[in-house]
Amino acid sequence: MPERKLRICHWCQYAPFVSGMYTCTKDQIRYERLAGLESELIDPREEVPAPWKVDGWLKPNTWKWAASADVFVLHRSIPPKLNAVKKHKGTVFVLHGSAPVMLLNEFQNNSGAFNMNIGNLLDFDKTVALCKNDYEIMRNYDVNERLVYIQDAIDLENYPLEGDKWKYESHPAIISSDTFRLTKLPAHLLWSMPKVVDLIPDARLNIFSVPRIGLTTWRNLLVRSKEQRLSMFVETFIAEGLSDLNPFIRGADIAFLNEIHGRAGRNVPEKYALGIPVVSYRGEYTKYHAVAWDLDSIAETIAKCWDDLEHNRDKIRLDCRKYAEEHFDMKKATEKYIKIYQQVASDKGLI
């Protein structure tokens, strides 16, 4: 008889073009299916997904299907209704949100977010940290030694080096596309732009993923500046929700990562895959390190990156792509996940 396919249930909300967590999970499911696993996305908010919820080749499955899975992979949440069957599954918790942000949420909203992560680390058979910084933090609570590190990755086929490019009017075109969070707001990058322009007169900032809620606040940062000076240094100011940022990334010269601890989430792999160097506050993936929130340092580091690009753009572009292929390939990451699934399923006697 042919060997039964391992059934993997990914608990993650359905949120195309909105959630990096969802996109990451979708990429992972694709490569798990290519490897021969029966892998499905299950939305914890809907027992039976609405029929219109179809994202290309991916359609969320039902809670009934989830009950028959071998491994529960927690990205978002698991409905209480399924807790009774969870104890019979192999379980894997993927730590998407950064530990500092979870702790801030706990203090701000009394949400228990960080302590919930500790609870999951103790409860699940394995926990995967997607960021080295989070891995080092959570090791302090890993009583049962169940924590592993797998670098956040992307489906490189969705980010070809060659393709359409947006034609920015000014260069260097500096792009910022972080999802707005307290630890990665583009405010200091914006405030540094007068100093950037002092060093590179034609430089302009391009901000993407601006939240619609609070849009007025960000507008005011521009138009209420002295003589609206900051407005003159911003070429593009786009709200969240674009389905394809690739042409805007390819057309840019420099990407800036606003994350305070330099976490290489999806932003860094996407930029590198498309050949764009990243200026950050830290991280082994780049040599362009600015001092966090220091306006002079931000400007000087951007200027150093631009100087390098003017002398060796083609090499930098190819080096970025090579780094993405070596470090951010979801196909390679999935191979590590599959070994974990096999281990936790075997420990529960499921294979």
CB atoms under 10 Å from CB of 334, counted, come to: 24
Domain 7-153+329-347 grouped into CATH 3.50.50.60: no
Rounded CA separation 24/31 (Å): 11
Rounded CA separation 14/4 (Å): 27
- Residue 203 has what pLDDT? 98
**Phi, psi for residue 325 in degrees, rounded to 5:** -65, -30
Q: What is the pLDDT of residues 274-319, one digit of tens each?
A: 999 999 999 999 999 999 999 999 999 999 999 999 999 999 999 9
Rounded CA separation 275/209 (Å): 20
Single pTM value for the model: 0.91
- Residue 227 has what pLDDT? 87
- Torsion sign over Cα 307, 312, 313, 316: negative
Looking from the CA of 175 toward its CB, the CA atoms found within 13 Å total 27
- Residue written as token pair 């950050």: 280
Cβ pair 247, 208 in contact under 8 A: no
Residues of the chain with pLDDT under 70: 1-3, 241
Terminal C-alpha separation, the chain: 14
Rounded CA separation 113/332 (Å): 30
Fold of the domain built from segment(s) 157-327 = Rossmann fold (3.40.50)
The set of residues, in sequence order, having a beta carbon less than 8 Å from that of 72 and lying 6+ positions away, is 9, 11, 66, 78, 82, 86, 89, 90, 91, 92
Q: What is the pLDDT of residues 325-342, one digit of tens each?
A: 999 999 999 999 999 999
Peptide bond into 51 cis (omega under 30): no
**Nearest-5° angle of CA 38, CA 264, CA 25?**
20
Rounded CA separation 349/351 (Å): 6
**Phi, psi for residue 126 in degrees, rounded to 5:** -145, 145
Rounded CA separation 284/276 (Å): 16
Domain boundaries along the sequence of the chain: 7-153+329-347, 157-327
| Same-fold call for 7-153+329-347 versus 157-327 | yes
Element (H, E) at 126: strand 126-129
- Residue 101 has what pLDDT? 80
Looking from the CA of 281 toward its CB, the CA atoms found within 13 Å total 18
- Residue 1 has what pLDDT? 39
Structure tokens given for 111: 């949400």
